[in-house]
Structure 1
Amino acid sequence: MMPSTQTSIRRSSAIMFTDIEGYTSLTSKDELAAFNLVKKKISILKPLVNEWEGWYVKEIGDGTLSCFKNPSDASECALQFQLNANDDDQLNVRVGIHFGDAIYTDKDVFGDVVNVAARIESRGIPGGIVMSKVAYEQIPENKRMETISLGLQAMKGVGRLIELLAIVHESLAKPNLEKYIPSQISFHKDPDIPSIAVVPFLNKGKEEDIFFAYGIGSDLIADVSGAGSLRIISMHDIENIDYANLSSSDIAENLKVRYVVTGSLLKIGKSFQLSMEVFDGKKSTVLWSDLWQENWDSLPSIKGKLADGILKLLNKTPNPEARITNTVSNTTEAYEFYL
């Protein structure tokens, strides 16, 4: 599956990360033993990746990155790897799998899907396999393995909410479900229609950047409103209250909504810092908060992740005919026209 072109190409792929539990500790005690453990791991994994027509991309310390055409091949390869590695008590490997669009060159693979797969692997189980629900749902029903949900989890650093699933097999390590409870993100389960207000983001930068901060909120309202049965407060109604001087709890009470989204934007040259939180007025708690520090060109994709995460919290999916906007104008003039 290794690309032969010298130019980059984009394709949907299953990305698989692995690493060895306790490798750093073992290295400090016995470097040769740690080195031999990595060699053994690679000797088991590489042939299996080839067998399932994947691409063994590279090693990263004791970790590995591999790509597959689909999550079915990735999960079957991962299972066979764990079965083959079972004979070595020292070889306790975590496996994480995610699915999405990746950018390929002749030597490497890049993209959000790669970053998320790495985060999933870090949440994994030594001797087990954890995958995103997104990846699992791409597997044909007749090929799906038994799984158990680890809940909706926030992937810090990549700004995503991802439901994680652990594959269940008699030869795989079983997840400690209690370990995942503290980091689970609660989503809307009540029978009532969810209600939400997206407050204009606070501009912490130059005066002219207010259009970008305001535009993020406006775009999120448009993205979320396409999800069907929910009550979302218009920007006009939000502006009729003194939201800048009210707490999230007070905003929820004033607007008669359960959920309130707030945030701030600081643009510095070609970089920005974006923070946001989603507040549950009924439970008086913050459900999800995150912080991004990225290049300015990354703002559109992060705004898309925000909308995706908000919809997951509301337990809603976008209308199939609607598409979450993935672009934010890069000029203040365009936002002035938009507003």
Structure 2
Amino acid sequence: MAKDRVKRRLAAIMATDIVGYSRLIEIDEMDTLGSIKRLQASIFRPTISTHGGQIMKLMGDGALVMFNSAVDAVNCGVSLQNDITLDQRQISPDRRMIFRIGINLADVVVEGNDLFGDGVNIAARLEALAQPGGICISDTVQRQLAGKSGLAFEDGGEVSLKNIARPVRVWHWMDSPTVGPASLPITDRPSIAVLPFEDLNGRPDETFFSDGITEDIITGLARFRSLSVIAANSSFNFRGKPTSLKEIGRQLGVAFIVEGSIRRVDQRIRVTAQLIEAATGSHLWAERFDRSLTDVFAVQDEVAKMIVSTLVGRIEEVKFQQSLRKPTVSLAAYEYYLRGVAHLRGYADDDNQQACHMLEAAVERDPRFALAYAYLALSRVALHGYADAPAEVLDDAFAIARKAVALDGQESVCHRLLALVCVFRREFDIAERHFRRAYQLNPNDANGLVQMGGLLARRGRLDEGLEWINEGMRLNPFPPSWYEAALANVLYLLERYDEAALALSELPNPGPYTHARLAACYAQAHRLSEAHSEVALVLRERPNFSTADFLKRVVVLECPDHRELLRQGLLKAGLPE
């Protein structure tokens, strides 16, 4: 048989793939394969044919398709996604077929019924970058669409693709305006809608409570200026309508949805809440709150505050993890900011250095990004040992944090981080003023409550400080580990040494100064063998450690009596004077 002649030509290449194919096969292999064959026959082949495409290769979970026109390829991709979405609506979410599509325009080699070349590889890499149910195209394709398509693609910047020498600028499309109402753009900030909580008792006269909870959550979330929160009149519009969460997310242009329910039995009430990623339907967090109904409005306020604080923590964690999975090539200012904060919360040896680099990149790309400046100030201090940082570093951080407040005086986090820098500068009055301003702007910020409590403890107001810390820990049931450090400090000063030691032992990757504090706790609690073990760890890492130097450079306590109490514990443990 004669060999097919090798041909080279310019073509638009589409690569498709099924999201979670291996999981679907594991659940039910025969059903999955049958569904793929049905979709290929009923949607893929006729749609591709209608748009002038040629299927070059069919694989178990995807296809490689060639078009003469980039416009035809994109229109076909949109039609495929719309048709598949409609087809899968009646299927259980865990069994749905969801596709990713990548499209590139390039010179390719056609050999029989197969395609070769970098252009094909790029299409496959673009498919992997597409959102579930979305399309990712190269810049060469986007340029072909100018003036020929009403579709809106979002600029994804330049990305490095595996085994491709040069970065490729990519564009993203998600959901079509032809299916239902037009979708709103998802903002750079995490966007969220709170659906009206369902009253499971079905009493029309008691919807005031479920609606009150919902509106309180919306109001509380709106205080976090890092979030984009849909107003109640928009989210309440979906009450009682059989609309999928993905469709609600598309219509409202949000990445996250909160839904919940309320059930009342006698004088007990149960509130459930869950956080869902709109595009995938994935449940990110769920919690149940059981309360006595002694004061209905007090319960409403308490539960709403707890839900708000927890939601913010879960959303931030999701966004931080997403940012770390993205390549660092040409990230926008907001993505650099997310990555910087994620590093700042980490415990790797170079995390503080990486945080500085990322936050510097953020403010370089957006010189008016207040939050990025605020966290840059904190990262500079963290890199140099917090309170142990040289005076010039603290002065520089103070100037940066003040700039953040000047850029956005209504952002509570900017005031909070400026206050924290002031704590390390031993400027306690200024720190307390800005912590209180942060609280006025956002009383739902658990981090602010704990840091305020920490400051009050440093100032000698121990009982008041402990109240603030306990309230912050109550509002945030999944706290970062530094909460334990703040708690340990006030517990030690209250002479509750065993509890202080327990809190310090929760800290990951403790350094020599944490071991020194632990040694003091154990010594004051008369657990001398444990104290001596901690002393050995301190001296192994800091052979020249001295109690006087530690108290002067590192410890931030306003009251002389409290400094003396810590000094006694360190010396009793056996650390050098």
CA RMSD between the two structures = 2.7
Q: 1:187 offset after TM fit, Å?
A: 8.2
Q: Secondary structure at the match of 1:141?
A: coil
Provide the C-alpha distance between the structure 2 equivalents of 1:101 and 1:142, rounded to a whole number of angstroms: 22
Decide which of 149, 162, 169 is 2:155's aligned counterpart: 149
Q: Secondary structure at the match of 1:155?
A: coil
Q: Name the CA shift for 1:48/1:185 in 2 (closer, same or farther; >3 Å).
A: same
Q: Secondary structure at the match of 1:95?
A: strand
Q: 1:35 offset after TM fit, Å?
A: 0.3
Provide the C-alpha distance between the structure 2 equivalents of 1:15 and 1:74, rounded to a whole number of angstroms: 8
- AA at the equivalent of 1:94: R
Instruction: Map residues 317-328 of structure 1 onto 2, 5 A cutoff.
Output: none
Provide the C-alpha distance between the structure 1 equivalents of 2:328 and 2:40, rounded to a whole number of angstroms: 33
Q: 1:6 offset after TM fit, Å?
A: 2.3
Decide which of 7, 24, 47 is 1:26's aligned counterpart: 24
- AA at the equivalent of 1:23: Y
- AA at the equivalent of 1:149: D
Provide the C-alpha distance between the structure 2 equivalents of 1:114 and 1:144, rounded to a whole number of angstroms: 26
List per-residue Cα deviations over 1:211-238 (Å, max 9, x = no partner): xxxxxxxxxxxxxxxxxxxxxxxxxxxx
Higher strand share: 1
Task: Check the 8 A contact 2:160/2:168 in 1, yes or no.
Answer: yes
Instruction: Map residues 168-317 of structure 1 onto 2, 5 A cutoff.
Output: 168=174, 169-170=176-177, 171=179, 179=322, 182-186=326-330
Structure 1: give runs of 5+ residues left out of the alignment. 190-339
Provide the C-alpha distance between the structure 2 equivalents of 1:180 and 1:160, rounded to a whole number of angstroms: 22
List per-residue Cα deviations over 1:308-333 (Å, max 9, x = no partner): xxxxxxxxxxxxxxxxxxxxxxxxxx
Cross-structure match for 1:286: none
Task: Check the 8 A contact 2:71/2:148 in 1, yes or no.
Answer: no
Instruction: Map residues 4-23 of structure 1 onto 2, 5 A cutoff.
Output: 6-23=4-21
Q: Pick 1 or 2: higher relative contact order, CA cutoff 8 A, min separation 6.
A: 1
Q: Secondary structure at the match of 2:131?
A: coil
Decide which of 132, 143, 146 is 2:138's aligned counterpart: 132
Whether 2:128 is the aligned partner of 1:122: answer yes
Structure 2: give runs of 5+ residues left out of the alignment. 184-245, 256-317, 334-577
Task: Check the 8 A contact 1:20/1:91 in 2, yes or no.
Answer: yes
Higher helix share: 2
Provide the C-alpha distance between the structure 2 equivalents of 1:180 and 1:155, rounded to a whole number of angstroms: 17
- AA at the equivalent of 1:110: F
Cross-structure match for 1:314: none
Q: 1:108 offset after TM fit, Å?
A: 0.9
Q: TM-score, normalised by structure 2?
A: 0.30
Cross-structure match for 1:38: 36
Provide the C-alpha distance between the structure 2 equivalents of 1:184 and 1:40, rounded to a whole number of angstroms: 40
Cross-structure match for 1:55: 54
How many residues are paired up? 185
Q: Name the CA shift for 1:80/1:25 in 2 (closer, same or farther; >3 Å).
A: same
List per-residue Cα deviations over 1:148-199 (Å, max 9, x = no partner): 112211101223311111125344887979646732412899xxxxxxxxxx
Task: Check the 8 A contact 1:94/1:127 in 2, yes or no.
Answer: yes
Cross-structure match for 1:109: 115
Task: Check the 8 A contact 2:9/2:109 in 1, yes or no.
Answer: yes
Task: Check the 8 A contact 1:21/1:126 in 2, yes or no.
Answer: yes
Provide the C-alpha distance between the structure 1 equivalents of 2:98 and 2:72, rounded to a whole number of angstroms: 22
Provide the C-alpha distance between the structure 2 equivalents of 1:132 and 1:144, rounded to a whole number of angstroms: 17
- AA at the equivalent of 2:48: V
- AA at the equivalent of 2:134: G
- AA at the equivalent of 2:14: M
Task: Check the 8 A contact 1:151/1:184 in 2, yes or no.
Answer: no
Greater Cα radius of gyration, structure 1 or 2: 2
Q: 1:140 offset after TM fit, Å?
A: 4.1
Cross-structure match for 1:198: none
Provide the C-alpha distance between the structure 2 equivalents of 1:68 and 1:180, rounded to a whole number of angstroms: 34
Q: Secondary structure at the match of 2:148?
A: helix
Task: Check the 8 A contact 2:159/2:330 in 1, yes or no.
Answer: no
Provide the C-alpha distance between the structure 1 equivalents of 2:36 and 2:144, rounded to a whole number of angstroms: 31
Q: Secondary structure at the match of 1:72?
A: helix
